Chains A and B, each alone.
Chain A
Amino acid sequence: MIISSTHTSIKKPAPMSRIILTLVVAVILTLLPWSGYALLIEPNWILIVLLYWGIHEPRVVNGSAFFIFGLFSDVAQSSVLGVHAFSFSVIFWLLSTYRQRILTFYAANQALHLLPAFLLNQTIIALIIYITSATLPHWLWFVQSFLSAICWLITPYLVEIKLTSKSS
């Protein structure tokens, strides 16, 4: 049942429409009117999808995409411009160093390896916002990373199963 990209034969590159569609869905999920605790622990949809394509299609979803979607996140959250762009760029740098290694794992192992990335993203954001506006988030906010890692387990199903059914 576990999907691993190495066990499938050489894959065709994902169609551009698929990449754009998933990113658009992630942006809309982020912009849904969440409130209260749901808002605090809501998984970082944009980062999950960016990481997925950053691993599988690094030529399309590259550093520029991470930076631009970071700016989108900043404006969507109406935080100081550049906060998410900065942390997403750090994540992409790390990702491109460990990409080949992460590709060899099953989804569950990948989730374990990406959990630090999600946590690092949150730590960087919390640090910058603490420096700029001296506010710290509720501690429950860090649950977001764990939920994002759990969501990583089903991301390949959501993206790839549709992909194969479409191509066949």
Chain B
Amino acid sequence: MSTRTPQLFTRGAPLWFRQSLYLLLALFAIIVDNHFHQLNALRNLVYLTLQPFQTVANLPSSLMSHTAGLFSNQLELAAENKRLKLELLKANISIQDKELLSKKNAELEALIGIKGHYNTAMQISQTLYAVHNPFHEKLMIDGGSSQHYQVGSPVVTSAGLIGQITQLFPHSSEVTLVSDKNLSVPVENLRTGYRSFTEGEGVNDLFDVMYVPITSDFKVGDEMVSSGLGGLYPAGIPVGQVISVTRENNSAYFKIQCKTNHVMRTGHYLAILSPINDGELAEKIKPLQEEPSSLDKKKVTKKKK
């Protein structure tokens, strides 16, 4: 207590000096973190300090789900078991179908010489909590750099794509959702095959499909799946459903609003697909780059003749 008695004379640096120092430090942190992403050690340190408080804050919801599990009766469990068995049966049948198809597909691709294979290796994780940020739509999930997760990995649930890993901590990682304003996913309309890309709206699990001309065929209820362009997200993963198609102020493009398939924020299982490494991606792009050059050569030889 004696250390905090009022002092007659101020000690240390004057206020303006101290506060400008803090402001400069904060500005430095903002610039370094935003442009060079070099402050992960500091972020990890602060994150670890906050971890116990986060556990306490998550206690009520985890307790609720725990007690709900405790008091679920036998009838419910039996019904759930039956439902799950049916789903497993259905899934197994569709997998048999899929295996046949993928075999055929592989043969056809080998015939034409395209490499269309994706890494299907996946890791199973669980959502921890929604990140507290009014500017971004993010989730924290279990497991991080210690589980060899990678930044950029697509994250999917049974309902479809939910987003991409954007930040790694030792034992948890941050997933930016499809509805985040800064995330774009190349998508395809399952009904018409029209390809475009998404842009998140930032609220309520909504995203827009961008730059769709008003002449194209888009209807409310259309399923959007990932198109596989760009190579990051495997093709054919459900992303969302069109909920409104409007045209604003004689614009040449539709405003197409979609809702993501996932609604769950905590305590649910999800799969992390491994991202395609750069070598594979380069291999895919290679044939496209070579073709025009070979054409040019032909043109040159023709001109010479």
| A contacts, CB < 8 Å to B | 13, 24, 27-36, 39-40, 59-60, 63-64, 66-67, 70-72, 74-83, 85-86, 89-90, 92-93, 96, 128-129, 132-133, 135, 137-138, 141
Cβ of A75 and Cβ of B46 under 8 Å apart?
A: yes
Contact A89 B265 (CB under 8 A): no
Whether, in the assembled complex, B167 has its beta carbon less than 8 Å from a beta carbon of chain A, the answer is yes
Segment 211-234 of B: residues with Cβ below 8 Å from A: none
B residues 13-52 in Cβ contact with A at 8 Å: 15-16, 18-19, 22-23, 25-30, 33-34, 39, 42-43, 46-47, 49-50
Interface residues on chain B, size class: 35 or more
Residue from B22, B135, B202, B266 having most chain A Cβ neighbours under 10 A: B135
Contacts of B66 on A, CB cut-off 8 Å? Answer: none
B57 A89 Cβ-Cβ under 8 A: no
Question: Known contacts A75-B46, A76-B50, A89-B22; is A135 also within 8 Å of B131 by CB?
Answer: no
A60: contacting residue among B4, B39, B53, CB under 8 A? B4
Contacts of A76 in B (CB 8 A): 50, 132
**B145 interface residue, CB < 8 Å from A?**
no
Q: Are the CB atoms of A72 and B130 closer together than 8 Å? A: no
Which of these, A77, A80, A135, contacts B30 with CB under 8 Å? A80
Do B25 and A40 touch across chains, with their CB atoms under 8 A apart? no
| A-B contact sample (12 more), CB < 8 A, given A30-B132, A82-B28, A85-B25 | A24-B53, A31-B54, A31-B58, A33-B57, A63-B18, A63-B19, A78-B174, A80-B30, A85-B26, A128-B30, A133-B34, A133-B182
Q: Which 7 A-B pairs have the closest CB atoms?
A: A82-B29, A86-B26, A31-B57, A82-B30, A77-B133, A81-B33, A85-B26
* Complex contact A67–B25 (CB within 8 A): yes
Query: What residues of chain A lie closer than 8 Å to B60, measured between beta carbons?
Result: 32
Residue B70 interfacial (CB < 8 Å): no
B132 contacts across to A, CB distance below 8 A = 30-31, 34, 39, 76-77
